[in-house]
Structure 1
Amino acid sequence: MNDPTMGALPRRQTDVAVIGVGIVGLCLAGFLAQRGRDVMLLDAGGSAASTANAGSLHVQMQSRFMRLFPERVASFEQQLPLYPKAVEYWREFERAINADFEMKVSGGLMVAETPEQFDFLVAKSRRERELGLEVELLERADLQRIAPYLGPAAFGAELCANEGKLNPLKCNTQIRAWASRMGVTIVDQCKVNQLRPAGSGFALTTSLGALDARQVAVAAGPGARALMDSAGTFLPVDPEPLHMNITEAAPPLILHLVQHAERSITLKQLSTGQVVIGGGWPAKLAAGADYPVVDPASVIGNVSLAQFMVPALGSLQIIRTWAGMNSKVDGRGVLGEMPGLPGLHAAIPGDAGYTLGPLTARLVADLMTGRDPGVDMRPYSPMRFQAEELRLLTAQ
């Protein structure tokens, strides 16, 4: 079901069209097919967030986000309780589809180098506890005991026990295979150029021809804004080009997901021994370009900081760097039906979207099939952008 006739869609009608074959789109399409829906999953290809993901499972608030988008922190806090649920749901999903994601939840450390950075972690952890997270503060002696791989600059850290990592390459491959087994028709290299209401459903204009669908779910990350514009509605999703690095294999060294209290970095070691170095350093995206490219300055800055935090990394070779497209909204996911367009759903998970992927996909699948998600979905509704849309229309 994954090999349509070259140059054409396998059929011209479907019950549900899901746009975007990242982690959310794959899971959402699979859940809908599992519930008896005829689902076609369309993807333009290229380097999106899921294909470029570094495999971190985040729970605590990331200092990078708080530093870059302070005006969005209050909005992000409304979604924070979803993160521990999302990590647990990854476990549940792995068991349900009989997969091996190489998932390890061994805790996450956000490291401070100075007393001032540690004070930031103290205040952050206090707020996180108020919002229901389980976190604790560690001093230098504690770090020497549980994370001896950290360098001498480590002053203290915040530990979040239910953070971790998985192997996104294995995840994506196994989830795609599961979605196919559920009956999803996956159409690669198919760009959706336009989406418009038509009768009781929607008409899609794609690079492989026209498609009619009764329901549509847009899980296309940074491409969602243009698609919603073509449907006559507003979804302020912006692209964020980022890059990652991976080292050669090494003996077991880094046991935790490691971040920094002030600087952009994530460190984790896969079960194969490679160390993935990421954390939000920018890639380059030329005007009009569809895909980002690696910025050499980011490579140098990212791996230099990694070596400073974990000196043993200095002897390892970087074997690959790559760039991908993350998506930014307002600190929260956009999950649910678009206002005034019954049957058109947004499926944009929010910051650290890979962590949230399977859970948010299931929540949207529940909404699309009339089930109770078991979560108050109002904070994630696209309805919250109506006032902004009206302001923009008035200004034109």
Structure 2
Amino acid sequence: MRRRGCPRPRTRAMAEAAPGCATPPDVLVIGGGITGGTAAIALAEAGARVTVLDAGLPAGSAANAGSLHVQLQSRFLRLFPELAPNVEASLPLYVQAVREWEALARRLGGFDLVRAGGLMLAGSAAQMRFLEAKAAREAARGVAVELLDRAGLERIAPWAGPGIVGAELCRDEGKLDPLLANRRLAEHAAALGVVRLSGRAVALTADPAAILADGRRLAAGQILLAAAWGSGAMTASLGCPLPSRAEPLHMNITEPAAPAIGQLIQHAERPITLKQLGTGQIVIGGGWPALAAEPVPRVHPGSLLGNVALAGEIAPALGTLRVIRCWAGYNTTLDGRTALGRLPRAGRVIVAIPGDAGYTLGPLVGRAAAALALGTPPPFDVAPCDPARFWS
């Protein structure tokens, strides 16, 4: 049961933040996406007074997501080969993260979550060799993978186009409806008494407090920074810059269709992701670029045409469907590894930036960040995630 009034402080930082039940919350969470939102829930369930500050940018919302990635994404391997070892070392975390999503779904009533695996398709013998080598690396890290020839693929994906010769199946992967999941998480947070404020933080102070763009100053016992690509600029104000960058990407969604695609779909060489929601709609993405712009990115016409054309080539039945909406959103790039821990120059500020595929990792990283704030054991070893690696 949630305690009413002023909670008993769980850490020295909380005690300093709430003398006589003062106004500042025990924890100010900056960033109301999937990581910050689930961190706020874990904190509030433990009895902390929590305020979430979110800038409310459409391109920054968790509604852009919904894939539960586990296997190494070919897109990341192509674009950031030097960072691939960081993601590879983190693979067990992705398996645990999907289980975290399943536990949340059971607890909060379901998110249209389906864990039927993920397929990475191949269009040539060379691409199958690439998948074979990749699968060996993944299996060594405990990921459940297997290779399928065309006949094996036909049994679970008869919709695959004639140019597809086989695939890698990762049984740990899945998909969910992000709009449904985000709504249920927000409702649960509100029921727990989490306060949500609109505003954009531009700097932090070590006491700690957040300085907002409109000049307001929000103090707290601790600050949990979960602002994705925007985190680096704020940690820089404390002398600890992070190389978090915004990568503008393009997404599409079709009209509803009969259920056909059960898995999360990717390609060994070409930029595509496909997933069919419980509504029948098919979400098409895969890393096609959007146009960087302020305050939000804009749709690139070439990405719209190229992305949809590639989807129709991989799954010809999609060619009869209409795209009813497309949008641009931001992905966060760091170094392929999660950044999670306290800042060395401001010990009451905790950074929580998931590694690649942040929506997948978000709830697990959020719960771990909450554990750090509460002084309780996190759900995984956070030592490899220490953001101090960027300043040592």
Alignment TM-score, normalising by the size of structure 1? 0.91
**Which residue of 2 is the match for residue 42 of structure 1?**
53
- Runs (4 or more) in structure 1 with deviation over 4 Å come to none
Q: CA deviation at 1:203?
A: 4.7
* Percent identical residues: 50
SS in 2 for 1:17: strand
Q: Specify which of 67, 72, 86 is matched with residue 75 of structure 1.
A: 86
Deviations 1:40-92 (A, max 9, x none): 10011112454342311111110000000000001111211111111111111
**Which residue of 1 is the match for residue 7 of structure 2?**
none
Q: Does 1:141 align with 2:151?
A: yes
Contact 2:114 2:174 in 1 (8 A): yes
Q: Does 1:223 align with 2:233?
A: no
Contact 1:167 1:270 in 2 (8 A): yes
Distance 1:25 1:48, change over 3 A: farther
Contact 2:52 2:197 in 1 (8 A): yes
**Which residue of 1 is the match for residue 276 of structure 2?**
269
Alignment TM-score, normalising by the size of structure 2? 0.92
Superposition pairs of residues 147-166 of structure 1, within 5 angstroms:
147-166=157-176
Contact 1:222 1:328 in 2 (8 A): yes
SS in 1 for 2:209: strand
Which stretch has the larger CA shift, 225-234 or 50-59?
50-59
* CA distance in 1 between partners of 2:26 and 2:146 (Å): 48
SS in 2 for 1:342: strand
Contact 1:246 1:318 in 2 (8 A): yes
Q: CA deviation at 1:130?
A: 0.9
Deviations 1:127-182 (A, max 9, x none): 11111111000001111111101011111100011211100011111101111111
* CA distance in 1 between partners of 2:220 and 2:267 (Å): 45
Q: CA deviation at 1:226?
A: 1.0
SS in 1 for 2:355: coil
Contact 1:14 1:211 in 2 (8 A): no
Q: CA deviation at 1:12?
A: 5.9
* CA distance in 2 between partners of 1:84 and 1:67 (Å): 22
Contact 1:306 1:313 in 2 (8 A): yes
SS in 1 for 2:115: coil
Contact 1:107 1:163 in 2 (8 A): yes
Contact 1:54 1:244 in 2 (8 A): no
Deviations 1:183-233 (A, max 9, x none): 110112x111221113xx335335372211120011111111111112222
Distance 1:29 1:374, change over 3 A: closer
Q: Which runs of 5+ in 2 are unaligned?
A: 1-21
**Which residue of 2 is the match for residue 99 of structure 1?**
109
Q: Which runs of 5+ in 1 are unaligned?
A: 1-10, 388-396
Superposition pairs of residues 56-205 of structure 1, within 5 angstroms:
56-96=67-107, 98-188=108-198, 190-198=199-207, 201-205=208-212
Distance 1:154 1:346, change over 3 A: same
* CA distance in 2 between partners of 1:207 and 1:367 (Å): 30
How many pairs are equivalent? 371
Q: Which amino acid aligns with 1:277?
A: I
Q: Does 1:298 align with 2:308?
A: no
